[in-house]
Amino acid sequence: MQSIFKASVAALALGAVAAPAFAESHTLSGDLRIISDMSNPAPRAVMEGLAADFGAMHPELNVELTIVDREAWKTQIRNALGANPPDVVNWYAANRMAPYVSAGLFEDITDMYENGDLTGLDSVKGALTIDGRQWGVPYTYYQWGVYYREDIFNELGLTEPTTFDEEIANCQVILDSGRKCYTIGTKFLWTAGGWFDYMNMRTNGFDFHMQLARGEVEWTDPRVRETFANWRKLIDMGAFIDDHQSYSWQEALNFMIDGEAAAYLMGNFAVAPLREAGLSDDQIDFYQFPMIADVPQGEDAPTDTFHIPSGAENKEAARAFLQFVTSPDVQTEINSGDGLGQLPVNANSGVDADEFLEQGFEMLTTNAEGGVAQFFDRDFPAEMASVGMEGLQEFMVFPDNLDDILERLEDARQRIYE
């Protein structure tokens, strides 16, 4: 698949779909050099389609696309942003972009948000903001939430909870039926980070969670302890599967597939393997993690982004490309099942007729007040995330160790953020 946008480009040529105003009002020329880490087959086809179609819209512009291995790019990006940088690069939002903003390697594009070049991105604008300025654009994300066995809920007479008290009440009914409430695999640690994200955002709010991620709050703070106290209510009930530290996230799916556990706090990427294992959409459903305190409902939605290096030579074309890739129609196309199979970030886009994508899109695009987090290992600096997730897994297995865990995390905070 060389390009998934041929129909939309033809429509643009016929005037049926309006091209972004910035692109229309400028004749772009020269070279536009793009380095992308969209190296897996489907994302690669999307990226190649974006480059080809943007080039077709601007025949005097030479679009040069280089695709590098996704994992290798994590170590190559700093050097690439140094000498002879390209005009556009792929990366990630929030804390993952912070080092490059601090080093002056990403271009400030705040004016594009302020003057209307970029619209429909309010739900994740905060994730592209540092020091009150915006440094890139999102092109895709996906929701986290509670995926559950709808047939088990129906059997037990349960409804989707909206409060933590209702969540706990449901859990007790599930336990009484001989099942576990939640499956989870913490062998590779990061899944415990998802639970902490939601427990902390629901207990203390999105802003507090981001303050903790930035090292501005002590891990021994009473508010952090309250998060763990709420989490421990579920642990002490026996809500989680036994020996979860022995399983990967994929292996833990089997407990939900076999009906031994009723739910999984996970990203939307869990849906495909559940379906492949034979569960129908009548057997699985999704709900937003319920409220604990009266605080804005922050959500985990890891967001992939485009940025303009501060040393880029063709910033005019780069800005036009960022506007192009965030426009509603393009966002709809690239995130469709034929493309990335995820969620468009632009609130004016559409989604495939998939109940989980539709629910996630509705939840995230109406969540501007609550804020969108990027997940524990993206929001926290790498070293803090590593130490932190070790502590979170330990807490789930040995909750009585909490005091020692928090002291270790606080020592790490003081060292890492100095």
Close Cβ partners of 273 (under 8 Å, ≥ 6 residues apart): 250, 253
Q: What's the mean pLDDT in 409-414?
A: 98
At 368, the pLDDT band (50, 70, 90 cuts) reads low
Name which of 125, 141, 122, 143 is nearest 133 in CA terms. Answer: 125
Close Cβ partners of 276 (under 8 Å, ≥ 6 residues apart): none
User: Can you say how many angstroms the Cα of residue 122 is from the centroid of all Cα atoms in its chain?
Assistant: 15
Tell me the C-alpha distance between 92 and 258, whole Å: 35
What is the value of pTM for the model shown?
0.85
For residue 291, give the amino acid letter: M
Q: What is the pLDDT of residues 299-318, one digit of tens each?
A: 999 999 999 999 999 999 99
Instruction: Give pLDDT, residue 127.
Output: 87
Q: What is the pLDDT of residues 379-395, one digit of tens each?
A: 998 899 999 999 999 99
In the block, residue with structure tokens 């209307």: 116
Domains observed in the chain: 6-142+302-361 (3.40.190.10), 144-300+381-416 (3.40.190.10)
SS3 of 341-388: the string is: CCECCCCCCCCCCCHHHHHHHHHHHCCCCCCEECCHHHHCCHHHHHHH
Measured CA distances, 255 to 137, 165, 232, 242 (Å): 38, 24, 21, 11
For residue 366, give the amino acid letter: T
Instruction: Give pLDDT, residue 348.
Output: 94
Beta bridge partners of 140: 304
At 16, the pLDDT band (50, 70, 90 cuts) reads very low
What the block records as the tokens of 311 is: 């040393």
Q: What is the pLDDT of residues 67-81, one digit of tens each?
A: 999 888 988 999 999
- 72-106 CB burial, b ≥16 within 10 A, e <16: ebeeebeebbeeebbbbbbbbbbbbbbebbeeebb
